[in-house]
Amino acid sequence: MTDLYLKKETLDFINVAHEKSFSKAADRSRVMQSGLSKSIKKLEIELGHKLFVRSARSLRLTSYGEIYLKHALSVRDTSLKALQEFDKNSKELSGKFKLQCHPVIANTFLPKLLKELSSTGIDIEVELSTSRKAVEAVRDGVVDVAVAIDPIPFPDLVIKKLWSEYLGLYSKSGLKQKEILYNHQTVEIVWMLGQVKATPKKINNYNLIYSLLKQSSKFMGILPNTIVEDEKKIKLITKLKTSNCFVVYRADMPKNNAFKHIINLIKQTKNKT
């Protein structure tokens, strides 16, 4: 372990004080004795006091050396305890993380993810955004992880495929209607509307579109299959676009147990289609 709060000269001082010999301390640290002597000399100059009394046969601490050793050991012990707590904390499922994902795929994994994390000490902040913005936020260190649709790769990012899903055209009867409900946040919505000859009506909530389609046969609507896959009250007219979903995070992201747990939970959430 590396001592958090002690500089090299102080660590060299503790080593020499423990061994009561420059040569033994140098052998133990696997450094040159001359380098160790220079380190102690530098420390004595900084403190303004001699720390050792040197003779041909012995080496002992001065009164100032004894005072400094007492406090240096105290700081070292505190440092080691802090590192031990850091190690313990990294093994526990706790910490704060930020996640961004595209709203089209939020229903696929977010409910399960948040339910699973509620029984841990992990605090995760979720924000919906376009896939491009989510990936850029990961790249820039604004968020820790993103779940995105067909993301653009960037250097130093880990991008792993999770599942495939599609956007479909649905109606209560399974037949095309004159009016089409859509969410403007849908990827390539302009292209998809161009494929369907109908009067568009913007409703920026997939669940509301789903509810209206179940209630009325006068509409058709564009929805992610994950919203309607377990329902039989509306029927698929045609598949419009199939997309691949990926989890994205920085390659240099600290891989503590909490972060690994989040990634594993996301990977375990699979589309049933």
**Range 19-27 average pLDDT:** 91
> Is residue 107 pLDDT above 80, yes or no?
no
Residue 93's pLDDT is what?
75
Give the CA dihedral 88, 92, 97, 102, nearest 10 degrees: 150
Sheet holding 219-224, edge to edge: 121-128, 94-101, 145-149, 235-250, 157-171, 219-224, 179-182, 199-202
Percent of the chain residues past pLDDT 90, beyond the cut: 53
Residue 1's pLDDT is what?
44
**Range 199-212 average pLDDT:** 90
Residue 273's pLDDT is what?
38
Q: pLDDT per residue over 222-252, tens digit each?
A: 998 878 865 678 999 999 988 899 999 999 8
Q: Give the C-alpha distances (Å, rounded to integers) separating 41 from 11, 50, 52, 120.
A: 13, 9, 10, 51
Tell which CATH architecture fits domain 95-273. 3-Layer(aba) Sandwich (3.40)
Residue 139 neighbours by CB under 8 Å, 6+ apart: 154, 156, 157, 250
Grade residue 24 by pLDDT with cuts at 50, 70 and 90.
very high
Q: pLDDT per residue over 41-90, tens digit each?
A: 999 999 999 999 988 788 999 999 999 999 999 988 888 888 777 666 55
**Range 255-265 average pLDDT:** 87
Residue 243 neighbours by CB under 8 Å, 6+ apart: 104, 149, 150, 164, 165, 166, 167, 187
Mean pLDDT (the chain) is: 87
Q: In the CATH hierarchy, which top-level class contains the domain 8-91? A: mainly alpha
Percent of the chain residues past pLDDT 70, beyond the cut: 92
Q: pLDDT per residue over 111-144, tens digit each?
A: 888 988 888 888 999 999 989 999 999 999 999 9
d(CA 234, CA 226): 13
Residue 173's pLDDT is what?
92
Domain residue spans of the chain: 8-91, 95-273
Residue 185's pLDDT is what?
72
